[in-house]
């Protein structure tokens, strides 16, 4: 379904690659599997995943600011009533304490699912994530770990959030060996990826595109399923240029692809899904085919994760590139309020960059 229809082995960097399952869930490539599917929005898909996580593992706990009554976006609605206040509970307004508590809970062998109410407020917890969670396994020589920690946070523009409720901080965490960073684009992806993150033996930061909480609707299987991490997905085949993105930006990029097609430009669109560790091979294979690449994200262009993708592609595909790597991203300013439409990497900005790159 197009996006337009849904508006054991420890590595030196402290990650464990092999996922040890904590349930009998299937691990699907697309989340279809078997069983019934229901048309739901993204926040409902998150809610389903949390219900399943708590139901299938009595070591799982959900906590954060206001989660016991459902949270500001209603993602945790009904959890406290069903599983009790001992497993789903509010915390003080202290992000450092929320993550620090989650690290300790996970270190004791539990599934700690912490919610940061807005990604903009994850910064007080930065030290706990970067210096504690990410290094816990490595510094102990794999004797101890807090791999059961998953940190959920809604990120990105919402149309009226201004500079304290619209930021996209994913690049800060992609610089940190020892954690994973995952961002879904749709309800089906959100459910399957979140369950994989919760059951992965490494700490994960899971950013949820709040713009799509109610806007994105698609058929989501009701059963327990997981989607593989660190595997990008080619969601649109093309031959002239490769577009790479994640999260809410994918729907904007697909609109640009549709417009480019009217001018005879064939665009291949890739959803990265996992930013750390990211799937270089899939992107490289696409760029070797098309000879051109454009990366787009909401975060400011300077130091954004698009810069890392660009550098890697130049290293791997330099002799196959027909044009410089293009980036269409947020501006290097604090996130504005009334000027948000000028800040955002819009369909028209992407379309102009597609044409300029193809005609280079």
pLDDT digits (tens, 9 = 90+) for 293-316: 999 999 999 999 999 999 999 999
Q: pLDDT at position 32, please?
A: 60
- Helix ranges, 136-186 (H): 136-139, 170-173
Q: What is the mean pLDDT of residues 268-278?
A: 98
What's the CATH code, domain 38-221?
Answer: 3.40.50.970
Cβ–Cβ < 8 Å for 152, 103: no
Q: pLDDT at position 58, please?
A: 97
Q: For residue 26, give the nearest of 2, 3, 47, 52 by alpha carbon.
A: 52
Q: Given a cut of 70, is residue 220 above it in pLDDT?
A: yes
- Helix ranges, 108-238 (H): 126-127, 136-139, 170-173, 187-199
3-state helix, strand, coil in the chain (%, to 5): 40, 20, 40
Catalytic: 165? yes
Q: How far apart are CA 289 and CA 321, in angstroms?
A: 10
Q: Given a cut of 60, is residue 343 above it in pLDDT?
A: yes
Return the residue matching tokens 């708590």.
54
Q: pLDDT at position 223, please?
A: 97
Confidence of residue 17 (pLDDT cuts 50, 70, 90): very low
Confidence of residue 103 (pLDDT cuts 50, 70, 90): very high
Q: What is the pLDDT of residues 38-84, one digit of tens each?
A: 999 999 999 999 999 999 999 999 999 999 999 999 999 999 999 99
Confidence of residue 236 (pLDDT cuts 50, 70, 90): very high
Q: What is the mean pLDDT of residues 187-194?
A: 98
Q: How far apart are CA 42 and CA 19, in angstroms?
A: 25
Q: Are strands 37-41 and 233-236 parallel, antiparallel or unpaired?
A: unpaired
Confidence of residue 230 (pLDDT cuts 50, 70, 90): very high
Q: What is the pLDDT of residues 255-272, one digit of tens each?
A: 999 999 999 999 999 999
Catalytic: 175? no
Query: Which residue out of 51, 65, 95, 298 is catalytically annotated?
Result: 95
317: left (phi over 0), alpha (psi -120 to 50) or beta: alpha
Query: Which residue out of 51, 65, 132, 165 is catalytically annotated?
Result: 165
Q: What is the DSSP letter of 215?
A: T
Instruction: Give yes or no on whether 38-221 and 233-359 have one common fold.
Output: yes
Q: For domain 233-359, give the fold.
A: Rossmann fold (3.40.50)
| % of residues, the chain, pLDDT over 90 | 90
More confident residue, 31 or 43: 43
Q: Given a cut of 70, is residue 31 above it in pLDDT?
A: no
pTM comes to 0.91
Contacts of 43 (CB under 8 A, 6+ apart): 73, 74, 75, 213, 214
Confidence of residue 224 (pLDDT cuts 50, 70, 90): very high
**Domain extents in the chain:** 38-221, 233-359
Q: What is the pLDDT of residues 132-145, one digit of tens each?
A: 999 999 999 999 99
- Helix ranges, 21-83 (H): 42-56, 79-83
Q: How far apart are CA 343 and CA 331, in angstroms?
A: 6
Cβ–Cβ < 8 Å for 95, 151: no
Q: How far apart are CA 90 and CA 98, in angstroms?
A: 10
Cβ–Cβ < 8 Å for 277, 29: no
């Amino acid at each position: 379904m197009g996006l337009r229809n849904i508006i054991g082995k420890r590595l030196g960097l402290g990650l464990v690659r092999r996922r040890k399952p904590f349930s009998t869930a299937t691990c699907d490539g697309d989340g279809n599997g078997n069983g019934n599917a229901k048309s739901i929005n993204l926040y409902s898909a998150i809610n389903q995943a949390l219900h399943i996580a708590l139901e299938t593992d009595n070591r799982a706990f959900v906590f954060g600011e206001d989660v016991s009554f459902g949270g500001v976006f209603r993602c945790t609605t009904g959890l406290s009533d069903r599983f009790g206040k001992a497993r789903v509970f509010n915390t003080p307004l202290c992000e450092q304490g929320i993550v620090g508590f989650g690290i300790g809970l996970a270190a004791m062998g539990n599934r700690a699912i912490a919610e940061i109410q807005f990604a903009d407020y994850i910064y007080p917890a930065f030290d706990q994530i970067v210096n504690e969670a990410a290094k816990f396994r490595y510094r102990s020589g794999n004797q101890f770990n807090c791999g059961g920690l998953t940190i959920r946070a809604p990120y990105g523009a919402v149309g009226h959030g201004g500079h304290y409720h619209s930021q996209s901080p994913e690049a800060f965490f992609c610089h940190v060996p020892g954690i994973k960073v995952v961002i879904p684009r749709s309800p089906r992806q959100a459910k399957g990826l979140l369950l994989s993150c919760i059951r992965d033996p490494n700490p994960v930061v899971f950013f949820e595109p709040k713009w799509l909480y109610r806007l994105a609707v698609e058929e989501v299987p009701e059963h327990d399923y997981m989607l593989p991490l660190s595997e990008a997905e080619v969601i649109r085949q093309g031959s002239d240029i490769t577009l790479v993105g994640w999260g809410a930006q994918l729907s904007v990029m697909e609109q640009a692809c549709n417009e480019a097609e009217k001018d005879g430009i064939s665009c291949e669109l890739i959803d990265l899904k996992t930013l750390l560790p990211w799937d270089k091979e899939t992107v490289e294979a696409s760029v070797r085919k098309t000879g051109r690449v454009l990366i787009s994200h909401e975060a400011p262009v300077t130091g954004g994760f698009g810069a890392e993708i660009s550098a890697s592609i130049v290293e791997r595909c330099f002799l196959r590139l027909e044009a410089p790597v293009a980036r269409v991203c947020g501006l290097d300013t604090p996130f504005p309020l009334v000027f948000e439409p000028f800040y955002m990497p819009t369909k028209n900005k992407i379309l102009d960059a597609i044409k300029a790159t193809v005609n280079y």
